[in-house]
Structure 1
Amino acid sequence: MIQEREGRGIPFRAMVPNAITALALCFGLTGVRFAITDEWQWALGFIVFAGVLDGLDGRIARLLRAQSKFGAELDSLADNIAFGTAPALVLFLWALRDAPRVGWIAALAYAVCMALRLARFNARIDNTEQPHKSAGFNTGVPAPAGAGLVFVPIYLWLITGNELFQHWPLVTGWTFFIAALMISSLPTYSWSSMRIRREWRLLALVAVALLGAALMVAPWPTLLAVSGLYLAMLPFSLASYGRVKRRRAASV
């Protein structure tokens, strides 16, 4: 943990994770800039890349031993803007403005639920008793995953060109659904809960490389497939956590 020494400042390595977090915030807001000019592929691309940066900053902070309370607060604020405010505005500009009242309510609901989810996470961060976290699970859908999922109608529209997926009642219902998942108490898989057998690690590396190639060659079908896989895993994460709870109860 980095602590500032009076009169000496902080080491440069402590700034690297915070700089990446700030970049993620900038990329998220830049997505809104492209949405204003109806450049939807760029809008989604910038927010997706913000998610990539968000996945790196914490790991780099731990690698450099540069974790700090300031960094944690900055990360939460950046997540709220890049994965809450920015997607809400993109969705409104893309489809929800066709129903200005209901559409704006849906956009607000998504943004507010993102803020509530992050506030809940921050409020519990120092709690010693966190059943989901201690078992390697998240509580509800995480911020970057929520942003990726709420864009599913846009992925479908970009792939097919079918205007049905831009119809505001469908987008409104989907937005409310993802907002509810984010603030739910549903246990969802986290990176710490995933284990790869030693003999499968090379295959896992190949799979990651293929995923990266697919994202570059066919980003929207790939993101749609990843989103579908994530949603399909939710019942399995609930069942897995149930088994963990039963094992814990049996060992008491």
Structure 2
Amino acid sequence: MSDLFPPFEPDAPEPRRRRFQAVPLRLLLPNLVTLLALCAGLTGIRMAIEGRMELALGAIVIAAVLDGMDGRLARLLQGTSRFGAELDSLSDFVCFGVAPGLVLYMWGLESLGSIGWIAALAFAICAALRLARFNVMLEDPNKPPFAGDFFTGVPAPAGAICVLLPVYLELVGLPRLVASPAVAAAYCFGIALLMVSKLPAWSGKRFGSRIPRDKVMPLFVCVVLFVAVLVTWPWATLAVLCVAYLAALPFSALRYARLMREYVARHPAAAIGPDAHLGSAHDDDRHSHLN
């Protein structure tokens, strides 16, 4: 019975309150960049609704640039986290799945009725499936060393930039006969399939990781010139980049097949299947937020 009425002790020390642990700034910066990319993607949707297509395209391009920065910033600052990885996945779906599909639909696919909406819907769904597939992929410890140089399928940011090619062509000045809504719908279906395919796409993640000292100044000049050209002729530059990227995909697949044949010739035990060791470079970039 004595436990029901504890003694009154006015001078007894109060229980120590639990304090939240301070979060290092290096963990917050990559997530802030991801949030900025998400804001850019959502702003692109708003600009498309208001009919300001140029600003909508610019917002998606900015989102793609920021998406390429957050993972590298997390690795540089050692600020990876599980929260950052999940936030990056959600941001990518909105910026590179929902936003490009809606922009393309409001640009001209709506004139096709249900067919146009299905095309935009298919692109967003394929972007979600691609992100979900790589979020659950297990890292193969026996994959060849060159596998990290290739994406499995077209990455979501590249797919988002490429699927808007019909809009670039119209802004350049080409008539709708060249980039008609019907052609744009078929093209949208094609890009969606490329994202969920197992096509080896060269990632370029390891290209230029080490720059010789005598190449630093020419690299700076090339980057400045590229930015100047992009700002001066943005839609023509993006159209050329999209065509060049899509044209390079077959050569990327052929190079991967050649490297795999050479690897299997040196390691016969690795001959499990044609896609057994296909790399997941985009997945590596996404999980750069993880501890």
Query: Is TM (by shorter chain) over 0.5?
Result: yes
TM superposition shift of 1:193:
4.3
Cα 1:190/1:132, change in 2 over 3 Å: farther
1:116 to 108, 129, 140: 129
Cα 1:101/1:232, change in 2 over 3 Å: same
CA–CA separation in structure 2 for the residues paired with 1:161 and 1:37 = 23
Structure with greater proportional helix content: 1
Q: How do residues 162-241 of structure 1 correspond to structure 2 at under 5 angstroms?
A: 162-195=175-208, 198=212, 200-241=215-256
1:250 to 265, 279, 290: 265
Say whether the 8 Å CA contact 1:135–1:241 is kept in structure 2. Answer: no
CA–CA separation in structure 2 for the residues paired with 1:161 and 1:248 = 46
What amino acid does structure 1 have at the position aligned with 2:57?
Answer: L
Q: RMSD of aligned C-alpha atoms? A: 1.9
What amino acid does structure 2 have at the position aligned with 1:224?
Answer: A
Say whether the 8 Å CA contact 2:63–2:95 is kept in structure 1. Answer: yes
Alpha-carbon displacement from aligned partner over 1:116-173 (angstroms, at most 9, x marks no partner): 1111111115454556973421001011100110010000000015122452211101
Q: Show the counterpart of 2:8.
A: none
Cα 1:238/1:203, change in 2 over 3 Å: farther
Cα 1:168/1:205, change in 2 over 3 Å: same
Say whether the 8 Å CA contact 1:94–1:166 is kept in structure 2. Answer: no
Q: Kindly indicate whether structure 1 or structure 2 has the higher relative contact order, using CA contacts under 8 Å at least 6 residues apart.
A: 2
TM superposition shift of 1:204:
3.3
Q: Show the counterpart of 1:3.
A: none
Alpha-carbon displacement from aligned partner over 1:96-134 (angstroms, at most 9, x marks no partner): 110121001100100000001111111115454556973
Q: Show the counterpart of 2:83.
A: 70
Say whether the 8 Å CA contact 1:17–1:57 is kept in structure 2. Answer: yes
CA–CA separation in structure 2 for the residues paired with 1:197 and 1:28 = 32
The structure that has the greater radius of gyration is: 2
Aligned residues: 247
Q: Secondary structure of the equivalent of 2:22?
A: coil
What amino acid does structure 1 have at the position aligned with 2:218?
Answer: L
Q: How do residues 94-173 of structure 1 correspond to structure 2 at under 5 angstroms?
A: 94-124=107-137, 126-128=139-141, 134-173=147-186
Cα 1:133/1:75, change in 2 over 3 Å: farther
CA–CA separation in structure 2 for the residues paired with 1:219 and 1:119 = 32
Are residue 31 (structure 1) and residue 44 (structure 2) matched?
yes
Say whether the 8 Å CA contact 2:144–2:263 is kept in structure 1. Answer: no
Say whether the 8 Å CA contact 1:14–1:66 is kept in structure 2. Answer: yes
**Larger mean Cα displacement after TM superposition, 241-250 or 201-210:** 201-210
Are residue 9 (structure 1) and residue 19 (structure 2) matched?
no
CA–CA separation in structure 2 for the residues paired with 1:185 and 1:47 = 25
Q: Secondary structure of the equivalent of 2:177?
A: helix
Say whether the 8 Å CA contact 1:88–1:111 is kept in structure 2. Answer: yes
What amino acid does structure 2 have at the position aligned with 1:63?
Answer: L
What amino acid does structure 2 have at the position aligned with 1:229?
Answer: A
- Residue identity over aligned pairs, in percent, reads 47
